[in-house]
């Protein structure tokens, strides 16, 4: 069967419709011809199912491949992923996020596709807004969403992307906040009263014991306890209680993302979850659904990173975060603050508050 390269399509004659379209589900019908996308044409040419002419000359696979790379940005990446999906036995159609993939046993025109795939190279930074708008596009038509990241050596890693509902089982804290027993040191707070230390630690899993008598709180925990429960924290210089604004101002010089992280921390606590530092995992928080007994700490299910609304993912970094989370059997979750404008425009779905969560995890296709 012979086709003709026209623009960024290969147009086949009506003789191709029966086998390629009706039986093998390649291409789209246009009048009585069949139009193939460049990836489809290259794949079929390599398998010697078709030949492709351009200006009266028959193209080799190499000719078509190079020609296609001029006609379509990142053609070679899309080809690598298209080929991989086809070789795994999936039917694939071009779609708004690069490809629509049909479930095993499913067929274009007969069943619905189940997955939207977006192809990216590890070298190109990926804006959060683009990731979310692709995810939203998939969700709007009730499809799942996957990123196919192609690395330097053309290995493909597939990541499933989904919005994440966060819900935990911790109730509000019931601890009497004594005055004059907590001090701000350089970048942490120490609680000097043994009774209050033990209660904060045991009832709410706040802080870490410095020794048997004294508790250390992180700056985030301290700010939350000040704001929500009126914890009083003394300045070491003046021995006077710090105002919340002054405290936050001081922390901002230590950690410029402090307020964003605090917003996520607050949101997690309000949802009944326990967030602790994720430093050992290189992320902002590790998150527990519930801690009933300080002596039996359960597995933390999530690693959560706060990202800015305008965040741009570096893909090797993203890959490392997700891989690490998965290696310790946790989900890698990203949290950002929705702004009014973005949700008006893009309609970012959410179940409460101003913080949106989504997770990325490696998937096997």
Nearest residue (CB) to a copy of itself, 315 versus 348: 315
Q: Which stretch binds a copy of itself (CB under 8 A): 28-36, 63-71, 108-116, 290-298?
A: 63-71
Size of the site for a copy of itself (CB under 8 A): 56
Radius of gyration, CA atoms only, the chain? 27
> Which two tokens mark 266?
């607050």
The CA distance from 354 to 336, in Å, is: 8
The CA distance from 157 to 268, in Å, is: 30
Helix %, strand %, coil % of the chain (to 5): 35, 30, 40
188 forms part of the interface with a copy of itself (CB under 8 A): yes
Among 51, 208, 309, 343, binds a copy of itself (CB under 8 A): 208
Q: Using DSSP bridges, classify how beta strands 302-306 and 312-313 pair: parallel, antiparallel or unpaired.
A: unpaired
The CA distance from 104 to 95, in Å, is: 18
Interface positions, 5-44, toward a copy of itself (CB under 8 A) = none
Among 80, 120, 145, 226, binds a copy of itself (CB under 8 A): 80
| Catalytic residue list contains 330 | yes
Catalytic site residue from 201, 261, 284, 330: 330
Residues 6+ apart with CB under 8 A from 88: 365
Among 323, 347, 351, 354, binds a copy of itself (CB under 8 A): 323
The CA distance from 235 to 185, in Å, is: 8
Q: Which stretch binds a copy of itself (CB under 8 A): 74-82, 89-97, 129-137, 224-232?
A: 74-82
- List Cα–Cα distances, 59 to 35, 64, 67, 116, 201, in angstroms: 17, 6, 9, 31, 71
CB of 62 to a copy of itself, least distance (A): 5
Could you list the active site residues?
Answer: 288, 299, 330
Q: Which residues bind a copy of itself (CB under 8 A)?
A: 46, 62, 65-66, 69-70, 73-74, 76-77, 80, 83, 121-123, 151-155, 157, 183, 185-188, 190, 192, 207-208, 210-211, 216, 218-220, 236, 254-255, 276-277, 279-283, 315-317, 319-321, 323-324, 327-328
């Amino acid at each position: 069967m012979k086709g003709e390269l026209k623009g960024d399509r290969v147009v086949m004659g009506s003789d191709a419709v029966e086998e390629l379209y009706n039986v093998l589900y390649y291409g789209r019908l246009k009048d009585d011809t069949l139009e193939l996308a460049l990836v489809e044409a290259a794949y079929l040419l390599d398998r010697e199912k078709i030949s492709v002419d351009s200006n009266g000359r028959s193209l080799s696979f190499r000719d078509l491949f190079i020609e296609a790379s001029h006609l379509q940005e990142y053609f070679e990446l899309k080809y690598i992923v298209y080929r991989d999906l086809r070789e795994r036995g999936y039917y694939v159609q071009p779609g708004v996020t690069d490809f629509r993939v049909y479930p095993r046993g499913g067929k274009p025109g007969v069943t619905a596709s189940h997955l939207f795939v977006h192809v990216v190279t590890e070298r190109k930074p990926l804006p959060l807004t683009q990731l979310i708008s692709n995810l939203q596009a998939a969700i709007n038509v009730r499809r799942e969403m996957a990123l196919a990241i192609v690395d330097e050596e053309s290995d493909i890693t597939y990541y499933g992307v989904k919005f994440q509902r966060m819900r935990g089982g911790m109730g509000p804290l019931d601890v009497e906040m004594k005055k004059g027993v907590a001090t701000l040191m350089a970048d942490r707070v120490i609680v000097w009263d043994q009774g209050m230390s033990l209660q904060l630690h045991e009832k709410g899993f706040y802080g870490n014991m410095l020794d048997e008598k004294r508790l250390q709180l992180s700056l985030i925990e301290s700010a939350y306890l000040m704001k929500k429960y009126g914890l009083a924290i003394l300045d070491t210089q003046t021995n006077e209680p710090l105002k919340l604004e002054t405290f936050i101002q001081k922390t901002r010089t230590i950690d410029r993302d402090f307020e964003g992280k605090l917003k996520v921390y607050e949101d997690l606590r309000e949802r009944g979850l326990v967030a602790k530092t994720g430093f050992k995992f290189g992320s902002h928080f590790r998150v527990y659904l519930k801690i009933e007994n300080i002596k039996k700490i359960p597995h933390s299910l999530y690693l959560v990173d706060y990202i800015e609304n305008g965040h741009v993912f570096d893909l090797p970094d993203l890959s490392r975060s997700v891989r690490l989370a998965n290696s310790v059997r946790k989900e890698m979750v990203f949290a950002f603050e929705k702004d009014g404008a973005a949700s008006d425009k893009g309609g970012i779905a959410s179940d409460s508050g101003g913080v949106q969560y989504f997770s990325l995890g490696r998937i096997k296709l």
